A = this chain, B = another copy of it.
Amino acid sequence: MLAIGIDLGGTTIKGALVHREKGLLDQLAIDTEAERGLEHTLSRISEAIKMTAGRAQGAEITGVGIGAPGVISFDRKSVSNPPNLMGWTKVHLAREITERTGYSAILENDANLMALGSARYGIGKNYHSFIMLTLGTGVGGGIIFNNELFRGTTGGAGELGHVIIDYNGPESNSVTRGGIEAYLGQRFLSHHAALILKENPENDLYKQFDGNFSTLEPLHLSQAAKKGNELARSILAWAGKKLGYAIVNYIHILDIRTIILSGGVARAGSLLIEPAKKAALTRLMPPFHPGFDIIYEDLGNEAAMLGAAALAFDGFVN
């Protein structure tokens, strides 16, 4: 059985042709052209779907799952106020897509789809329950409980980047202060690193950027740390410690002890994970220690498209 997974972004629309058992068969990407407004973007999404379907060589396609920004309705048919998409307020995207393509469609937010993609096609297959954190521009979360997404009462569960660990802490991209997005979000971590590097002109990383850190990314910290740069290592450890405290909160509330990391910042690997584990274990109540682990998902952005297709395989409601 085949399904199409779409990753709708403000810049790019990605489409994946997915086989239920075999996973990703093919993928493509086209420009969103979001600046041309709602109608045009709907046409672009439909075009991406048709192009992806064209790669199926006539095999039947069960439907389309779409990962979208913004707030997704509980019935997974509408999206409200997606950032970066011009002219979208509340859009019944499932219906619009069905009208344009003939396929049934179902929506979910990206972070939840990353979790579902990992659960069905990635390292998450090994766990019936886990917490997925996507450490990218923002910090997104998805909760898999007994092999299904835990959605809460309206579908909004899992805003894990906005869980407070310091109520006096810094702001991030929301009204919440002191959530891990404010420490580990790509822009925030880069900014923090730049501040520290500016005070350390003798550091190799300072020299590499010639004191101008506008293009510094967490990846540079990982690269430097792996080459033995102690300052870069300590900055990642600082971020990992914050992550560890947030993980304590997830586990004390959910009693789900497997944490899976994805996203660009997570590529720091053990430089981030080991300090996170250590911090979490100091504050986690002892009955929650057995089975606690933090692991890395290397599916990358494909996880969201795979998760979108998985949603389509799980079925549609009318």
Chain A residues packing against B (C-beta within 8 Å): 71, 128-129, 141, 143, 145, 151-160, 162-168, 174-177, 179, 242, 245, 248-250, 252-257, 282-288, 291
Contact pick for A252, options B162, B168, B284, B288, CB 8 Å:
B162
Query: A174 to B248, Cβ gap below 8 A?
Result: no
Given A151-B255, A288-B156: A167 in contact with B167 (beta carbons within 8 A) = no
* Chain B residue at minimum C-beta to C-beta distance from A177: B283
* Chain B residue at minimum C-beta to C-beta distance from A179: B252
- Which of A141, A145, A159 neighbours the largest number of chain B CB atoms within 10 Å of its CB? A159
* Chain B residue at minimum C-beta to C-beta distance from A281: B175
Contact pick for A164, options B248, B287, B291, CB 8 Å:
B248
* Chain B residue at minimum C-beta to C-beta distance from A141: B253
* Chain B residue at minimum C-beta to C-beta distance from A283: B176
CA distance A175 to B145 in the complex (A): 26
Given A157-B255, A166-B166, A253-B163: A282 in contact with B175 (beta carbons within 8 A) = yes
- Which of A249, A283, A287 neighbours the largest number of chain B CB atoms within 10 Å of its CB? A249
How many identical subunits does the complex contain?
2
Closest 6 CB pairs of A and B: A152-B255, A157-B255, A159-B252, A156-B255, A167-B245, A163-B249
CA distance A288 to B174 in the complex (A): 12
Query: B285 to A175, Cβ gap below 8 A?
Result: yes
User: A157 to chain B: which residues have CB within 8 Å?
Assistant: 253-255
CA distance A245 to B177 in the complex (A): 10
* Chain B residue at minimum C-beta to C-beta distance from A70: B287
CA distance A177 to B248 in the complex (A): 11
CA distance A257 to B249 in the complex (A): 17
Query: B255 to A253, Cβ gap below 8 A?
Result: no
User: A282 to chain B: which residues have CB within 8 Å?
Assistant: 175
Given A153-B129, A282-B175, A284-B175: A164 in contact with B255 (beta carbons within 8 A) = no
Query: B162 to A165, Cβ gap below 8 A?
Result: no
Given A174-B285, A176-B283: A253 in contact with B253 (beta carbons within 8 A) = yes
CA distance A164 to B285 in the complex (A): 12
List 10 extra interface pairs beyond A145-B152, A164-B164, CB under 8 A. Answer: A151-B255, A155-B255, A156-B287, A160-B252, A163-B249, A167-B245, A174-B285, A179-B252, A250-B253, A253-B254
A253–chain B nearest beta-carbon distance, Å: 5
User: A252 to chain B: which residues have CB within 8 Å?
Assistant: 159-160, 162-163, 176, 179
